[in-house]
Structure 1
């Protein structure tokens, strides 16, 4: 075995190891696995098989026993066949990339808010129905069909060569020899690579700059080594060149894809948050807040307790008319912030209407706790009102839920609403507490 043969075998075995490791890296490193992810993994594994086939051909080349006889033929046949399959698969990967056939769905924030505005359960249903509606696909390029046809022709030519020795043959000494038409598969490969380059250039607007440059640079080493192998036989440069180039391409592609996924996930989360929260106060919106409270009531145990508070800014129209809408918006935010400071992070505070708020305080219905927190709310709001020299106060109705069994949100809201208007009738800036089970006033 010559030094050149040992060098080729060593390089290709290292290539096999790199491809297997990188296949795992592509799979594990993908934040979200798409068809392109599986295409890249398949290409890495095909590249490893192609290298193993070439290793087998080199190692057994010129061997005298029966194993050498078969492995030389199997190795060379496998290398040629896998090479054409690999190019076709690479063309498919490029088409998926440039055509958007397997890109992440581009959804505007408005459309995403529309999907998410109905709550979590409806979100999933909307998402499934949206996914089911396939977007119009870009018509497949004829260049892709030509590439597939060239790969198929190369495969047929390779299989026919096993009988007529047109491209290569194994001589009586079990040595690989080039046939009279050896250049044809190489030329077919160059044509396919050229068509893939044209696909990339034609669709460059659909690629980020790093991915565009890396995709084009992929072809430099394979094209150069293909030309070298046509002119000179001895080094297994083509498979090594493909192995090196594919790693650079897939690393950049994975980075760019993950950036896009993170960017889109951030946009989705922002749009989902905005759909469920009031833009002025950052509280839960009415629909999302109702769903949150209903969900909490549905999962309460019989010995669980809670209190539902209904807050309304007194004479809010007069505030707007006297001080202007900007001042009115300021007090809407101030009341919201006061409620958020007063209660816990996991309590549910909702902007229920223009100047109305609903707050569900979890795991407590103690009368003294309710009264102390409502008194504190009134004092803090009074301090802010005095600081700005404006007479702003709120009326409050609270409904205590002493048992978590079969709590109806509408009925609870009704009790809190009646308690609120009882507070208004008694002079405004007051609070009234009622019990859900009895509807009786407990404190005013």
Structure 2
């Protein structure tokens, strides 16, 4: 696999996304004199309001439960580190991979997946809610910082990777794929597709694929870490998962009697390393077989090229099943989820029925809006809230706000 010399001397493979061959932005802008398009996108994401709000959005544990548990922001930073490491090893454009990792959760609701599930239910009459699609909506519409356009006006490759980093959304004949097979594409995707063609029927760049698998790796390893530190399960319970059992035995043999906190960290770091090294090895095999001559060849490959090996894919699913049983379905976690579900549901019902109770600018220009547009306005407002602000808004409007602490 040949490589050329990228920006700043970085070696870049021929199948990497070339920042100087970008398909551009919806609203044309002069090129930066000091940054590539993807570096510029990364900076715009980091400086966005939505990115700052990730600091106070739940990953698994709600904000009150401790300062050392992951938030959406710390998770995002960890994903970006793994994505950049994968991109460097595969000679991809590191800036695009990092950019996509930093943006991937911008559309997430307060209270993690519970908030998303509730908003999906509340928006059922209007094709539901999807946090990936909401991320696209954030960067193309809801961020309103620039004088000449709404959104961040990101490069085509960034938007493409953001909306379909998990794979194509449409078949070649335009039929929705994956979780949208029995429905339609989310509103945010359909709405933006009328303005710019993101080629929803192809795979995204290898950089987007690296960001997507980095999300899985970070999620698995760090939910193990947080679950252990929260006391939701004991270290020895991991022996029931072969992948984790092998790591645990390795750590205990090398460091007998190691204190608990260091033991946990050694397990987590080895989990990340093994998954990352597996992805790199498998990606090289797939790329060698494909022999792509450009990033377009990667998009048209018909399959993912940056992914787990079949063996690691099985192991990773076993880790996820373990986490589902021990963490996500733990009664302590479920008890909080039930409380925050009520908060999100009641906020939506209130703002949908009385949209004037939202603050400006959300309550501006309500006259003449359709039922769906009002619901979308309430949904956008709630989806952008932090955990703390959602509780404060509920307390402002209701007398029985749950005490999560």
- Fold shared by both chains (TM-score > 0.5): no
TM-score (norm 2): 0.29
Greater helix percent: which structure? 1
Flag the structure with more relative contact order, 1 or 2, with Cα contacts below 8 A and sequence separation at least 6.
2
**Structure number with larger C-alpha Rg:** 1
Greater strand percent: which structure? 1
TM-score (norm 1): 0.27
